[in-house]
Chain A
């Protein structure tokens, strides 16, 4: 009987809402919408003059998505700087190139991340991820609480043509590689001084 119960307790695998960290969720909900404003090409992404912040979620995470929407509305009171905004909740199966989105925020999903990242890339919009591990699957931004709060950005964003961030943001973030979290990321931060960094950045832009 004990063995049966032990197996029952340890092997059962029933789907339910992912356990989200409240601090990380709220930090992301406070900061990510502001990052959209630092895209110099934001005008190209407005939909009916509004910023549409689309939250993509698994069906079981609907309550989490809803709570984020409430939190954003409470904090921003309907406008991001000079722009009105709308929060759009979309189940991941329904997210496509037709989905209205000026930026997309992806909650935890075990699959379809690559597809969402591809759509975001084609639309030329910023993509944010709850889980930093999804940056290696193509999403752009994540926020992690380490010893301090750290914004991570996939390095390839520097080569995107439809997104252009103000330079100061790029000094604030840490970069990760596309295929995997960059093991030398800190070296990158430490060793590259800003002069070399911007030289490289603008040379890439010129190409």
Chain B
């Protein structure tokens, strides 16, 4: 009886199901399309980051503006586990989770999906000044789990998304920006969009300049730069103290076009900076400079056809290292180094440079690349992506001029052919093949697994697997586990530098390798409040290293790093916003050719950052940023004291006029004038690199 009733009910329900009227079907269809559309926006904008198989932090440009953050560098300083380091070029580099604090290419920077690391250093310091007003969103993926199609991110990747990105219902406005701050910093820029039915064009432009100088010294001459006991040369008395020219001047123009299924992305960044602490560790003159221009142009085509999605890209990127500076002080007493090196260290001719040593060094690089990826969604619960990326990297021009080694005359002599600083025929080809499957096992559990296989015209990285899992236990608890292997190819500097007493390049270098295990647990307390806990273990092998005593770059460092990250976003009450993170990391490092083993050096074991925002009313907001960077231990051979910990606090008052759509912000940074220093390597600047103290910034933004 019950069974009969049951089946009657079921039949009735089936009839009801099949008799849904067209009106309801249309509405349901419309809701489904809306859900797909917003899901797409959320995925692209990493709104659903907690459910993605990465350890990722996303920062919103508008929120960073409210906080008084001025540029990309200041934004990255908020990221868990990220510290900033520098060198004598003032080549500033974010260090992720303590990974090889002396190397540059550990992390990759993408702007609108285009890799912009320069080839010379494999760094991107020229982009760290990118004004925050040009940035819609910053996505920072920590760990090699950040592998992107065809690009290996060793310690992490930074994705900057500009306002060229647009979605229906989320269109951004045109705007103009003016800034003025300490060190006579001036900036102006704009973002302008043009739209027709099929064409969208976005242009952004900015110009910024400052005259920043920072106290520095004694310079590297005090530590033996351009001195040699073997040769009986002692120039330590020529060491200088003074102001290091760390000024910057940028102008940048970007154009992004989208026409139907085609995209064109281009940027021209002309970056010039002061010679900072000197190529040869002698404090340079204020007008001495390094130019690091970066240009790229990429044509793309993407199309979705049935279950397939095709993504084809081809592009070219140019970057240059162009230095013009006084390299040594008046009165340097040395030898004819050209003759010495070219005679296999047999001819020693003394030479004095009464008016100092000058130099011009230029190396232009070009990268051509092409990639094609095909995604297939035709198998239930699987999304399979496969493709390749080819790169041709080469030096296209090189100039090497110095004061006369033979006579000591300051006038420049062209040594491009006879005594170059760099291999003018440097070239490398790279082929990368990728395969990846995203498998949705059920509503709770999904996996991504795949590999990259890479060959180069030098040492190959080979097969590099990755598997990750996201388990959503329920609405409040999400677990992630990731294993990945990745590598960093040697930079141009590490491979092709020549005739330099401090750096000797080698084309025998292998890629640095890392195997990483990462676990993450996310506890969601509400829609926008969560605590994320990450633990990680990084096994780094063949890290590239050189030192003052052995300047040849070689794969001799193995480093194990493990640590913990906590990241909290939430409220103290239901009405405010608080963001906090803390990182603890530790590990050991071994220099394999000397057997020297130590705990992590030049790395802060404790990092804590946070910010707090509240609005006094609908127009006025006040915010604060606090950053703590723990002390840093020196390498074993370095007898200096540890690098001191520091805490900086910034505050910003922001006024927003809703009627006329403009903002005025006033910021004070490093309110307590804390002594912030970045460590120097041994035998360079013994007092490290002091950074700016208290500064101010005024910003005016107007939207149209």
Contacts and interface: CB of A to CB of B under 8 A. Distances in A.
A166 B20 contact: yes
Given A30-B34, A147-B446, A2 B649 contact: yes
Contacts, number: 169
A145 B474 contact: no
A10 B574 contact: no
B509 to A, nearest CB: 41
B231 interface: no
B24 A166 contact: yes
B34 A18 contact: no
B381 interface: no
B20 A60 contact: no
A47 interface: no
Nearest to B26: A81
A183 interface: yes
Contact of B47 (A30, A131, A145): A145
B658 interface: yes
A31 B13 contact: no
Nearest to A75: B169
Interface in A115-156: 130-133, 144-149, 151
B28 A181 contact: no
Interface stretch (B180-188, B232-240, B614-622): B614-622
A49 B474 CA distance: 42
Interface string A184-196: 0110011000010
A183 B6 CA distance: 29
B572 interface: yes
B76 to A, nearest CB: 21
Nearest to A20: B528
Contact of B10 (A63, A131, A199): A199
B649 A145 contact: no
Nearest to B8: A202
B433 to A, nearest CB: 28
Nearest to A1: B672
Contact of B527 (A10, A22, A133, A198): A133
A37 B48 contact: no
B34 A146 contact: no
A4 to B, nearest CB: 11
Given A23-B41, A145-B48, A199-B6, A13 B20 contact: no
Interface residues of B, number: 65
B28 A168 contact: yes
Given A9-B626, A17-B615, A167-B13, A23 B170 contact: yes
A27 interface: yes
Contacts of B170: 22-23, 26
B444 interface: yes
Contact of A23 (B30, B38, B615): B38
A11 B578 CA distance: 10
A100 to B, nearest CB: 23
Given A149-B35, A149-B39, A189-B443, A23 B47 contact: yes
B636 interface: no
Interface string B631-647: 00000000000000001
Interface residues of A, number: 64
Contact of A27 (B25, B34, B476): B34
Nearest to A35: B31
Contact of B38 (A6, A10, A149, A198): A149
Nearest to A6: B626
A99 B278 CA distance: 73
A144 B472 CA distance: 14
Contacts of A18: 574-575
Contacts of A145: 38-39, 42, 47-48
Interface string B520-551: 00000011100000000000000000000000
A146 B440 CA distance: 14
B683 interface: no
Interface string B572-592: 111111100000000000000
B27 A27 contact: no
A149 B672 contact: no
B572 A13 contact: yes
Interface string B27-55: 11011101110110110010110111000
A52 to B, nearest CB: 19
Contact of A12 (B38, B42, B614, B617): B614
Interface string A37-59: 11000000000000000000000
Contact of B475 (A1, A35, A132): A132
Contacts of B35: 27, 31, 148-149, 151
Given A13-B572, A19-B528, A198-B13, A147 B48 contact: yes
Given A17-B618, A21-B47, A186-B443, A172 B6 contact: no
Contacts of A75: 169
Interface string B351-376: 00000000000000000000000000
A88 interface: no
A35 B444 CA distance: 26
B245 interface: no
A132 B474 contact: no
A21 B13 contact: no
Contacts of A206: 9
Contact of B9 (A37, A38, A203): A203
Nearest to B45: A23
Interface string B450-478: 00000000000000000000101011100
B501 interface: no
A54 B10 CA distance: 37
B30 A34 contact: yes
B31 A31 contact: yes
Given A19-B528, A23-B42, A190-B442, A181 B572 contact: no
Interface in B148-175: 169-170
B39 A167 contact: no
A15 to B, nearest CB: 5
B594 interface: no
A131 B528 CA distance: 9
A11 B665 CA distance: 23
Given A16-B616, A27-B34, 10 more contacts: A15-B575, A16-B614, A17-B618, A26-B170, A31-B31, A34-B31, A60-B618, A71-B169, A81-B27, A172-B32
16 contacts: A2-B647, A2-B649, A9-B626, A10-B612, A14-B615, A18-B574, A23-B41, A24-B527, A38-B24, A60-B575, A63-B618, A148-B35, A148-B48, A167-B16, A172-B32, A190-B442
- By Cβ-Cβ distance, the 7 closest A-B pairs, closest first, are A16-B615, A147-B51, A9-B624, A198-B13, A27-B38, A110-B574, A149-B35
Interface of A: 1-2, 5-6, 8-19, 21-24, 26-27, 30-31, 34-35, 37-38, 60, 63, 71, 75, 81, 108, 110, 130-133, 144-149, 151, 166-169, 172, 181, 183, 185-186, 189-190, 195, 198-199, 201-203, 206
Interface of B: 6, 9-10, 12-13, 16-17, 20, 23-25, 27-28, 30-32, 34-36, 38-39, 41-42, 45, 47-48, 50-52, 169-170, 442-444, 446, 470, 472, 474-476, 526-528, 572-578, 612, 614-618, 621, 624, 626, 647, 649, 651, 658, 671-672
